[in-house]
Amino acid sequence: MGLAVPPQARDSPGTRHRPQGPGRQGPGGPQPQGDLRAGGVRVSTTVVRRRRHTLYFLEWAAAQRPVHLDTDVDMTRIQAHRAAARDNGRRYSVVSYLLYAAGRALDRHPEANAVMAPGWPGPLRRPRIVRFDGVTAKLALDRPVEGERTVLSALVPGLESANLREIQERVDRYHGEQAAELPEFKGVRMLGRLPVPLGRAAFAAALRDPRRRAGVFGTVSVSSLGHREVDGFHSAGGTAVTLCAGRVVDRAVVRDGVVVPAPMMRLGLTFDHRVIDGATAADVLSDLHHTMETFDDGTWAPDPGPDPRGADRDPRPLGGLEPSTH
């Protein structure tokens, strides 16, 4: 049994589809110009200008060797902190807590706050790993650019010491549809205007010196799809560690032998195996998990008291939480 061709897409013997010029009428009214193939499908061979920076990034990031881990984070304590903050007229987003935890965790694990610096100018030069002194997040944003949804990357520096309020103020800077017009996205707008060969060259040149990488690309990538019905996902953000947060949703957990609901969030960690090994990545993820589940930035009012998750908490210290040595 074959698939029937829609009547408007059928060809008479010996005919073929041709692009329709301006003002010409197709079966459904005026048709856009383009290359129409069998079935009436319009094929475009041009990458939209506003997405060229994404294309250049994906080409560059193809050298990574990503491996994926994930964990479920009990958000009870963070949700309680958010509620207390709202009662005092302050709003904190979930991603700000993740940025806060990422800064502390990577400061305790400097080997993961690093980047692979490929040999340059050629493959005969020995590749090396460069570690960064501070933690700067590359935060993925979904913002309209010239009327089309586009992924932009905003830098949030100083996470190893920034408090939650400072982080949220930085994140708030990128709210709204006008975020794409901010000065820090000038380079992205330029890449969209340049011819493709020059755009590729400019992108590569900006990342060539690993010492400048933190100010261009950050030291850790953070992405969240928690505003949609997404439980978990993984992506490779071009840094040694990429963090991916899903939605917060009530799930069944066991506390004191009783099944109760708790707000849970799936947290994914993708690491570049060229830079760190799985054991180090697992330590970083465990540190993030611990920091978020026991969150306390010293601003609780009143004192939240004991861990609200109760007896299911393992009181033993987690591995990989050694104090910072720098």
Q: Is residue 220 part of a domain?
A: yes
Q: Is residue 303 part of a domain?
A: yes
Total structural domains within the chain? 1
Tokens (6 digits) for 26: 């197709």
Q: What is the pLDDT of residues 284-296, one digit of tens each?
A: 999 999 999 999 8
Q: What is the per-residue pLDDT for 11?
A: 44
Q: Is residue 43 part of a domain?
A: no
Distances (CA, A) of 250 to 79, 107, 219, 263: 12, 31, 32, 4
Judged against a pLDDT cut of 90, whether residue 279 lies above it is answered with yes
Q: What is the pLDDT of residues 34-84, one digit of tens each?
A: 455 555 666 554 557 777 877 878 788 888 899 999 999 999 999 999 999
Tokens (6 digits) for 87: 């009662």
Q: Is residue 156 part of a domain?
A: yes
156/289 Cα distance (integer angstroms): 21
Q: What is the pLDDT of residues 178-215, one digit of tens each?
A: 777 777 777 777 777 778 888 788 877 777 777 778 88
Q: Is residue 301 part of a domain?
A: yes
Greater pLDDT, 201 or 319: 201
CATH code for the domain in which residue 70 is found: 3.30.559.10
Long-range contacts of 201-209 (CB under 8 A, 24+ apart): 203/53, 203/56, 203/57, 203/60, 204/56, 204/60, 207/60, 208/120
Where is average pLDDT lowest: 173-182, 252-261, 269-278? 173-182
Q: Is residue 290 part of a domain?
A: yes
- pTM score of the predicted model: 0.75
Residues 6+ apart with CB under 8 A from 30: 23, 24
Where is average pLDDT lowest: 107-121, 153-167, 223-237? 107-121
Tokens (6 digits) for 77: 């304590």
Q: Is residue 273 part of a domain?
A: yes
Q: Is residue 321 part of a domain?
A: no
The domain of 243 spans 54-309
197/167 Cα distance (integer angstroms): 37
The average confidence (pLDDT) of the chain is 78
